[in-house]
A and B are shown apart, each in its own frame.
Chain A
């Protein structure tokens, strides 16, 4: 019974992977797939979908389909980079808090609680508001908002793993804290973290789109789904394709990450694997 068989069994996980691969292919090969320049205002505004423009054009005469394809770049880029940064901040904090416990843990945990008492979206709006609207600042904001979530997951996992006999055994051998954490605690905390990171990627897509919708992320004319949504909103009755297309894409991207996350949770669950 290989891991591959299990993957095949988990249909939803497969669907998630296929969706994500499609979006990734779109992002990587945008130059070849997109029929037109996403920024060029070459066409009549608000053309309805037609063979030349499968998803019509927007109010400035740009091809919606091409913008959609290029928009996937921003979305994936922001999601992956900001969640990675969040991990780089959150993992060490969670490790230290969980492993050492005591006063260190109390302080770090309080900080985490404080950060988590703001909804991610409010926190990111606050931060981009302070730093000024730009793609970089949006990523910084998302990283800061997500780091405590990662830290919390890691801390919880470390709290349980550090009680395992193999960690106790290593301590009894006289190993240092850093060694024990890096060699034993962290590798055994990865599985649930992986699930959380995947789900975070989905949320990050959502938050980025929201920021773009509010004009706080990538600035025009860069194509981004959130920004397209915002523009489409004004013409929802006259050019509904403008808002429908990016809306569907955002939903699909979030769905892809969530399906993969849920699938991973099942795959990594040893109770299920034993069957």
Chain B
């Protein structure tokens, strides 16, 4: 389809752990069969707890980790098996914003070089890099006077602005934002979220926004995919999913978030237990050991992610027959 920017099909990312001459390696199944797509100008929020595999999905699309299997295409082109030349042309069109602004900028480079580095790597030569860098800085709410400084001279929020400017330098088709505000204080988080929202409207950005914070996802995303133990359990428009969750995990996740008002204290119906071991996930539905509604079938048969209506998908036996 023309307006699909990214299409991910049955993506699996396994990490090898241990293993030597005498022992077989174990596989951590970080992402275990994930499919979704993002349309042009859309922000897809990927929400999940640590170990759910959400960051690995982002890294696989950004080309940082190699998928174990599955297909990722950007603008209809398979990006897993690219030749060197194609990679040079296509990779800069996918940009990533990292969680920790203190480690995502090279401490030994000046801001002006950091921002335009993606352009230089892409082999662009015939522009005035300084002018371009100044333009980009302006766009993220910093100014030309910051060009010659080093990262350590900035606060966390300002560094994240620099990282955003860098990500915008190539006019990317897709921006992958991996928890871009979770290292920041709330007041600064709000600034960065508002900046991303403005830029998105102005530049018609397509984004994969990864976060553990459902409030942040609700604010910035159009659609949301909920991940649990390497799988997407629910996917749909953000209001549908967050206001009326179908999957029991989504429901408990939402219940667990403390609402900043004492009149809205949680009912004491928290899910017990902890997320499963990613090396030996439970059979059937991976959430069944913690699920308050688990049926017999949940222990043995893995539920498929099926359409509930034309925009909503859920993977749960309660909704399948």
A interface residues (Cβ-Cβ under 8 A, vs B): 164-175, 179, 184, 187-188
Query: How many contacts A-B (CB < 8 Å)?
Result: 52
Complex: how many Å from CA A175 to CA B170? 14
Complex: how many Å from CA A187 to CA B107? 10
Pick the residue among A164, A174, A184 that contacts B63 (CB under 8 A): A174
B217 within 8 A of A: no
Taking the closest CB of chain B, its distance from the CB of A20, in whole angstroms, is: 26
Complex: how many Å from CA A56 to CA B172? 77
Residues of A within 8 A of B117 (CB): 170, 173
Once A170-B121, A173-B117, A174-B87 are accepted as A-B contacts, the answer to whether A165 and B98 lie under 8 Å apart by CB is yes
Pick the residue among A165, A171, A173 that contacts B104 (CB under 8 A): A165
Pick the residue among B63, B98, B108 that contacts A188 (CB under 8 A): B108
Complex: how many Å from CA A162 to CA B280? 30
Complex: how many Å from CA A171 to CA B166? 14
Residues of A within 8 A of B64 (CB): 168, 171-172
Residues of B within 8 A of A171 (CB): 63-64
Pick the residue among B88, B92, B104 that contacts A166 (CB under 8 A): B104
The chain A residue with its CB closest to the CB of B163 is A169
Once A173-B92, A174-B92 are accepted as A-B contacts, the answer to whether A165 and B103 lie under 8 Å apart by CB is yes
Residues of B within 8 A of A174 (CB): 63, 87-88, 90-92, 121-122
Taking the closest CB of chain A, its distance from the CB of B35, in whole angstroms, is: 22
When the two chains form their complex, are residues B108 and A172 in contact, meaning their CB atoms are under 8 A apart? no
B106 within 8 A of A: yes
Residues of B within 8 A of A167 (CB): 106
From A164, A165, A172, A173, residue with most partner B Cβ within 10 Å: A173
Complex: how many Å from CA A168 to CA B55? 13
Once A174-B122, A188-B108 are accepted as A-B contacts, the answer to whether A166 and B103 lie under 8 Å apart by CB is yes
Complex: how many Å from CA A168 to CA B163? 13
When the two chains form their complex, are residues B108 and A187 in contact, meaning their CB atoms are under 8 A apart? yes
Complex: how many Å from CA A170 to CA B163? 12
Complex: how many Å from CA A43 to CA B238? 97
When the two chains form their complex, are residues B98 and A175 in contact, meaning their CB atoms are under 8 A apart? no
Pick the residue among B88, B95, B100 that contacts A165 (CB under 8 A): B100
Taking the closest CB of chain A, its distance from the CB of B23, in whole angstroms, is: 17
Pick the residue among B91, B99, B105 that contacts A173 (CB under 8 A): B91
When the two chains form their complex, are residues B121 and A172 in contact, meaning their CB atoms are under 8 A apart? no
The chain B residue with its CB closest to the CB of A180 is B121
Residues of A within 8 A of B88 (CB): 174
When the two chains form their complex, are residues A172 and B100 in contact, meaning their CB atoms are under 8 A apart? no
When the two chains form their complex, are residues A172 and B96 in contact, meaning their CB atoms are under 8 A apart? yes
What are 8 pairs between A and B in contact, CB < 8 Å? A165-B100, A165-B104, A166-B104, A169-B98, A172-B95, A173-B118, A187-B108, A188-B108
Taking the closest CB of chain B, its distance from the CB of A49, in whole angstroms, is: 52
Q: A165-B100, A170-B121, A172-B62 are in contact. List 12 more A-B contacts (CB 8 A).
A: A166-B103, A166-B104, A167-B106, A168-B98, A169-B98, A169-B104, A171-B64, A172-B91, A172-B94, A172-B95, A173-B95, A173-B118
Taking the closest CB of chain A, its distance from the CB of B177, in whole angstroms, is: 13
Taking the closest CB of chain B, its distance from the CB of A147, in whole angstroms, is: 25
The chain B residue with its CB closest to the CB of A184 is B106
Residues of B within 8 A of A165 (CB): 98-100, 103-104
B94-137 interface code vs A (CB 8 A; 1 in, 0 out): 11101110011111100000000110011000000000000000
Complex: how many Å from CA A168 to CA B121? 14
Residues of B within 8 A of A168 (CB): 64, 98
Complex: how many Å from CA A187 to CA B100? 20
Complex: how many Å from CA A174 to CA B100? 21
From A167, A174, A187, residue with most partner B Cβ within 10 Å: A174
Taking the closest CB of chain A, its distance from the CB of B112, in whole angstroms, is: 15
The chain B residue with its CB closest to the CB of A163 is B103
Complex: how many Å from CA A168 to CA B100? 12
Closest 6 CB pairs of A and B: A174-B91, A165-B104, A166-B106, A165-B103, A172-B62, A165-B98
Complex: how many Å from CA A149 to CA B107? 26
Taking the closest CB of chain A, its distance from the CB of B252, in whole angstroms, is: 31
Complex: how many Å from CA A164 to CA B108? 13
Q: Which of B203-258 contact A (CB under 8 A)?
A: none
Taking the closest CB of chain B, its distance from the CB of A25, in whole angstroms, is: 33
Taking the closest CB of chain A, its distance from the CB of B129, in whole angstroms, is: 15
Taking the closest CB of chain A, its distance from the CB of B300, in whole angstroms, is: 39
The chain B residue with its CB closest to the CB of A187 is B108
From B62, B87, B91, B117, residue with most partner A Cβ within 10 Å: B117
Taking the closest CB of chain B, its distance from the CB of A161, in whole angstroms, is: 10
Complex: how many Å from CA A188 to CA B105? 12
B55-91 interface code vs A (CB 8 A; 1 in, 0 out): 0000000111000000000000000000000011011
Taking the closest CB of chain B, its distance from the CB of A214, in whole angstroms, is: 42
From B88, B90, B121, residue with most partner A Cβ within 10 Å: B121
Complex: how many Å from CA A167 to CA B121? 13
Complex: how many Å from CA A140 to CA B94? 49
Pick the residue among B96, B103, B118, B166 that contacts A164 (CB under 8 A): B103
Residues of A within 8 A of B63 (CB): 171-172, 174
The chain B residue with its CB closest to the CB of A168 is B64
